[in-house]
Amino acid sequence: MKRMKHIAALGCISILLMTTLLLSFYMPQEKQAISQGSFRIEKIADTIASAEPRVVRFSTYDSVQEANLQLVLSSTYGTIALSLESTFWDYYFSIPAAFNKNAGKVSYTFIQDQKILQEGSYQILADTTKLGTLETHLGPRSIVANERDYTMLVSIPTDSLDNMLPDGTLVNLKSQFKNTTTATTHPLRSGIAWKRISAPLQSGRMSTASTLKTASSRELVADIFPDVAQDFSITASSHHNYADGNELITFETSQIRDAHGNIMTDGTLITFYIKSNLGDYWQTQASTVNGYAFAKALHPQSPSKWKITAAITGIAQSEEIVVTFEPIIKQIPLTITTSRSITVGPLTSYLGQWVQEGIAVSLEIDGVIYTEHTKKGIVTFYLKPEDHPTGTHPSIIRALGIEKNQQLVLD
Amino acid sequence: MKRNKTLYRLLILSGFILINAGILYGISQVIAYLNSGADRSKMLHIENDRTRSYIPEITWESLENSGRPIEAATQKAIEEDYLDAWYVKNNAFYTGDDVGIFDHYTASARTKIGDLLAVNKEQQTTIEATTIAHHLSLEFYSADGTLAVLTDRNVSGVERIFKNKEFVLERNFNDDYKLILLLEDGFWRIRHFEKIANTTHTPSYTPVSLDTALLEGINYYPQMSPWDTFGDKFSSDTLSKDFKIVKDLRLNSVRIFVGYEDFGKAHVSQHKLAKLTTLLDEAEKEGVKVIVTLFDFYGDYRLQDWTLTNAHLKSIVTSIKDHPALLAWDLKNEPDLDFDNRGEREVLSWLSHSINYLKELDPKHPITIGWSSPENALLLENKVDIVSYHYYRDLEDLASAHTILTNATSKPVVLQEFGMSSYRGLWNPFGNNKKDQAAYYTEFFKTQKRDSIDYLSWTLFDFGDIPNRVAGDLPWRKNKQACFGIIDNLGVKVDAYSIIKHR
């Protein structure tokens, strides 16, 4: 233990001795008064950006005068003011790393007590040997497969300290679409390199990237959507063409494509416009799947003729098709059970089967119209004596688009 | 024992009340807290009209770019966000607080600012800075409208460096920058920013001579609206009548005052400008020249305010600089009185900058500053075209004070304000009366004739009501200030009138 203390003491003494030796060696040389009242710092030379502090020394230094010295440095992001620093044998300014990192013009002012002693400027240049990332921007990210549309790829390469690289540096801008890769070289201007990438005439997805020597960017993709749809055709299909109010008719578009044969994006909305010869209009909508859209409509209850067109509103449309619905009965069978109870039916369909439930049948008598719906093909009307007095009444019975005039004799 | 019991009762009661009060207070605080917080209307970054407190001059030099044409709305958005970026950066370097930096700089640019702020904090440095003018060119605007590359040339401005709160340096700068902006979260944020050149821009100074052989004039406010020439009582008939009086006095000029706030600060009211032009028109009809005193009642001078005063200056100067009745600009009335409150350096710095800008806007008319005393009159002598001072002391010393100035400068020296109040009354029973005032003027003209002094006297009228901001609210001050005129409140021309007329 005691020995350790001895060694420590010896060590201390030897260090002290060496320092004094060093000091006596350096001090007279460095801190010497060179000229009365004059301070000059070394010219600050242009440099490469670095994350290291930088030392600015004096070319002449007056140690006699009380020195209130400041070095003011102004670069892009801001201004800093440095105070004099010193070691035992030297005076200097130390420009902090944070300041040396940013490329750009720097102006410096060396002052003493608000008086400017020296002014100048120097340049911090981007470090082209240490590349950072290539920041790329791509947009618009969704374009249309035609001759006019394009997307733009912008690359902003930087050095490892995030400084823009000098103009003229060559950057590779690359794009890839369906096994075709395009790469072109572009010089930097104002810190960026960019190119327009024309839309391919096929829909799909395009990948882009940029490289500069060993530095790479991430991948950015743009979707190429089909151009506007071309006109298309429609067809109608049904199991039969009777106006039975029961069957469904299906309308179907052809596969809708753009001018370059690209199938429309799924979900494109198609509107089918239906116009009946009885004066009715209506519409139904369907979305496309793989370019096809299907819509359904219920057969009418009356024999009629439909004209159908379809359209993508404002973009494309189909030609008109015509569908004719045949009547399912020739005449209306009628049974009068009592003089006041009139049964219509059974109404039968094209196979002789009952019409489906709920077919509307109306009876017009004395200016009043009664409407009932079939059940098992039959409707029964009961005419009350208080509404319809005894006697013969002309009446009209209507069902499934057919009319029958009947003289009803009521007791 | 009994006393103790009462004491305990009291203690328990008051304790109970206190506890209840505490609970109630606590509950109310909780409710208040729950009701406070983010304002829904502020959740989105929706621009509403705001008054900008930083409006440097912006010139778009070119919008031609190879990317795509820019829409006017985007151009405006970029301009505003870019200026805000400067504003928040300047503010951050001044206060050390990075408020707003997040909105206007991308993550990597924020880091760079943050690092320098840390350096300044460590070195105890604060930077007060403002930019005055920007000249933007659009180099590139991307197809999707989210990236813009700009060059900003000749960004002129001023910065003051303080260390440990002590002034170190004021420097002007004139720099070129290139920058890349990205549209993020609805803000055009600075992604890259680089100073590409720095030049020192020394404003060219060409002295302008005074356009009259001998300046003989009077300071003017209408009798019914003192210190409020362009207020509600403004009437061209009054002005016409008053300028006829000035002509009758055989004087060749008047000095008028344009209030900074009165004219709308940075956003000068067209209505007020029309009134100012009317005044000049009326003066022109009578052949009276006008010295326009600017920035009346302005007293801020801070660097942060310079863009606003520039905007004010630009509006007024460009609107009347070609008027034939305009004789000279008086940049500021008695700015030396603000030295104590605002700091001499700060005031002089503002004056010097504003003269430069005024020279740029109107190189034809002479510029002066109405210093409150002959001792201060030589401040900024190298900047002004006319040296002006005010003199309310004993006339005996006028000649020597004036000679000191004329010897010190080659520029015309104008005695811009002098006069005597003829208030003798309740608040000053032994004050000067109209006779003393007449004697004062008689004496003045002896000196004036001998030394050919250019002068403007204070003032034409006695005033009924003096605004408090002029002379404070003390009645002896106000009454004194009200009675400097040579036409009294009843419209009677007092003795001094004829002395001036028949000088």
d(CA B288, CA B253): 5
pLDDT for A47 equals 94
Among positive and negative, which fits the CA dihedral B194, B198, B203, B204?
negative
- If one counts every other C-beta atom within 10 angstroms of the C-beta of residue B331, the result is 25
Structure tokens at A327: 């009547």
Mark whether A281 and A340 lie in a shared domain. Answer: no
* d(CA B375, nearest CA chain A) in Å: 25
Write the residue in B109, B143, B171 that is nearest to A150 by C-beta. Answer: B143
Enumerate the residues of chain A whose CB falls inside 8 A of the CB of residue B93. Answer: 78-79
Q: In the numeric block, which tokens belong to residue A346? A: 């059974």
Give the domain CATH number at A392: 2.60.40
> B148: which chain A residues are within 8 Å (Cβ-Cβ)?
none
Are A64 and A135 in the same domain? no
Chain A residues lying within 8 Å of B140, measured CB to CB: 154, 189-190, 192, 194
Length of chain A: 411
- pLDDT recorded at residue B74: 95
pLDDT for residue A31: 44
User: Does A15 fall in a domain?
Assistant: no
Q: Do A78 and B127 touch (CB under 8 A)?
A: yes
Q: Which residue has the tokens 């009715």?
A: A280
Residues A356 and A314 in one domain: no
Q: For residue B313, what are the contacts with CB-CB under 8 A and spacing of at least 6?
A: B294, B354, B357, B358, B361
pLDDT in tens, A2-59: 455 665 555 555 655 555 544 444 444 444 444 445 788 888 999 999 999 999 988 8
Beta-carbon contacts of residue A25 (< 8 Å; ≥ 6 apart):
none
Q: Say if residue A238 is in the same domain as residue A320.
A: yes
Q: Are residues A64 and A110 in the same domain?
A: yes
Distance CA B147, CA A154 (A): 9
Q: How far apart are CA B152 and CA B135, in angstroms?
A: 5
**Do A135 and A218 share a structural domain?**
yes
User: Are A89 and A115 in a shared domain?
Assistant: yes
SS3 (DSSP) at B35: helix
Please report the sign of the dihedral spanned by the C-alpha atoms of residue A369, residue A370, residue A371, residue A376: negative
Q: What's the rounded mean pLDDT across residues A91-114?
A: 92
Look at residues A324, A353, A387 and tell me which one is the last residue of a structural domain.
A324
From B207, B219, B222, select the one nearest B292 (Cα to Cα): B219
For residue A390, the enclosing domain spans: 334-410
Give domain status of residue A114, yes or no: yes
Answer yes or no: are the C-beta atoms of A192 and B140 closer than 8 Å: yes
Statement to judge: residues A259 and A220 lie in one domain: no
pLDDT at B202: 75
| Residue of A101 and A19 predicted with greater confidence | A101
Write out the E strands in A15-165.
Answer: 40-41, 47-48, 54-60, 69-75, 78-83, 85-86, 91-95, 104-112, 115-125, 131-139, 142-144, 150-159
What is the band of A185 on the pLDDT scale with cuts at 50, 70, 90? very high
Same domain, A118 and A149: no
| Rounded Cα distance, A33 and A30, in Å | 9
d(CA B168, CA B124) in angstroms, rounded, equals 12
Residue B40: what pLDDT? 66
Place of tokens 């420590």: A8
Q: Which of A81, A103, A190 sits opposite B151 (nearest CB)?
A: A190
Q: What is the DSSP letter of A318?
A: B
A406 forms beta bridges with: A395
| Residue A92, domain member (yes or no) | yes
The confidence band for A141, taking pLDDT boundaries of 50, 70 and 90, is very high
- One digit per residue, the tens of pLDDT, for chain B of length 503 reads 667 889 999 999 999 999 999 999 999 999 988 887 666 666 666 555 566 889 999 999 999 999 999 999 999 999 999 999 999 999 999 999 888 899 999 999 999 999 999 999 999 999 999 999 999 999 999 999 999 999 999 999 999 999 999 999 999 999 999 999 999 988 999 999 999 998 877 777 788 888 777 899 999 999 999 999 999 999 999 999 999 999 999 999 999 999 999 999 999 999 999 999 999 999 999 999 999 999 999 999 999 999 999 999 999 999 999 999 999 999 999 999 999 999 999 999 999 999 999 999 999 999 999 999 999 999 999 999 999 999 999 999 999 999 999 999 999 999 999 999 988 888 888 888 889 999 999 999 999 999 999 999 999 999 988 888 888 788 888 888 889 999 998 889 999 999 999 98
**Chain segment B211-270, per-residue pLDDT in tens:** 777 899 999 999 999 999 999 999 999 999 999 999 999 999 999 999 999 999 999 999
Nearest residue of chain B to residue A197 (CA atoms): B143
Q: Please count the other Cβ atoms lying within 10 Å of the Cβ belonging to residue B211.
A: 13
Q: Is the pLDDT of residue A102 over 70?
A: yes
Q: What is the pLDDT of residue A36?
A: 47
Instruction: Please indicate whether, in this complex, the C-beta atoms of A192 and B140 are within 8 angstroms of each other.
Output: yes
Domains of chain B by residue range? 57-198, 216-501
Residue B188: CB atoms within 10 Å:
23
Residue A32: the pLDDT is 44
Which backbone phi and psi does A65 adopt, to 5 degrees? -75, 145
Of A76, A98, A137, the CB nearest to B115: A98
Distance CA B114, CA B104 (A): 13
- Tens digit of each residue's pLDDT (9 = 90 or more) over A341-386: 888 878 888 888 888 888 888 888 888 888 989 888 888 888 888 8
pLDDT of residue B44: 62
Residue A139 at interface with chain B, using a CB cutoff of 8 Å: yes
Question: Are residues A74 and B147, on separate chains, in Cβ contact within 8 Å?
Answer: no
> How is residue B31 annotated by DSSP?
H
Interface confidence, given as ipTM, is 0.82
Instruction: Please tell me what DSSP assigns to residue B470.
Output: H
Number of Cβ within 10 Å of residue B362's Cβ equals: 19
For all residues of chain A together, what is the average pLDDT?
87
DSSP bridge pairs for A198? A150
Q: Does B142 touch chain A (CB under 8 A)?
A: yes
A219 and A192 in contact (C-beta within 8 Å)? no
Mean pLDDT in residue range A160-188: 94
Which residue does chain A place closest to B91, by CA atoms? A78
Domain for residue A16, yes or no? no
List CB contacts (< 8 A) between A116 and chain B: 169
Contact map slice: A 48-87 vs B, CB within 8 A: 70, 72, 74-83
* Cα–Cα distance for residue pair B192/A77, rounded to 1 Å: 10
Q: Which CATH class is domain B216-501?
A: alpha beta
Domain assignment present for residue A104? The answer is yes
Three-state secondary structure call for residue B492? coil
Distance (Å, rounded) from C-alpha B192 to C-alpha B208?
44
Nearest CA in chain B to A153: B142
pLDDT score at B156 = 93
Confirm or reject contact between B195 and chain A (CB < 8 A): yes
Topology at the third CATH level for domain B57-198: Nuclear Transport Factor 2; Chain: A, (3.10.450)
Q: Which of B123, B171, B191 sits opposite A83 (nearest CB)?
A: B123
**What's the confidence (pLDDT) of residue A5?**
60
Number of domains chain A contains: 4
Residue A356, C-beta contacts closer than 8 angstroms, at least 6 positions apart: A244, A245, A246, A349
Looking at residue B410, the DSSP 8-state letter turns out to be S
Distance CA A220, CA A368 (A): 74
Dump pLDDT digits (tens) for A220-246: 999 999 999 999 999 999 998 888 888
A29 in any annotated domain: no
Q: Do A156 and B169 touch (CB under 8 A)?
A: no
Q: What is the pLDDT of residue A351?
A: 84
- The verdict on a CB contact (< 8 Å) between B161 and A78 is no
For A76, which residue in chain B has the nearest alpha carbon? B195
A106 shares contact with chain B (CB less than 8 Å)? yes
A240 in the same domain as A319: yes
Same-domain pairing of A351 and A405: yes
8 Å CB contact between A368 and A332: no
Is B178 touching A (CB cutoff 8 A)? yes
CATH of the domain at A204: 2.60.40.10
C-beta of residue A256 within 8 angstroms of C-beta of residue A264: yes
Q: What percent of chain A has pLDDT over 90?
A: 56
Which pair of structure tokens corresponds to residue A77? 């992001």
CA distance A95 to chain B (A): 10
**Could A192 and B168 be called an inter-chain contact, meaning their C-beta atoms sit closer than 8 Å?**
no
CB contact under 8 A, B192 and A191: yes
Question: Would A158 be classed as within a structural domain?
Answer: yes
Query: What residues of chain B lie within 8 A of the CB of A158, using their CB?
Result: 192
Query: CB distance A103–B143 less than 8 Å?
Result: no
A59 belongs to a structural domain:
yes
pLDDT higher than 50, residue A394: yes
A221 & A189 share domain: yes
As beta bridge partners, residue B197 has B176
d(CA B365, CA B208): 6
Contacts of A368-372 with CB under 8 Å at 24 or more apart are none
Contacts of residue B123 in chain A, CB cutoff 8 Å?
80-83
CB contact under 8 A, B115 and A82: no
Last residue of a domain, one of A82, A99, A125: A125
Q: Which of B95, B112, B138 to mutate to test the interface with A (most CBs of A within 10 A)?
A: B112
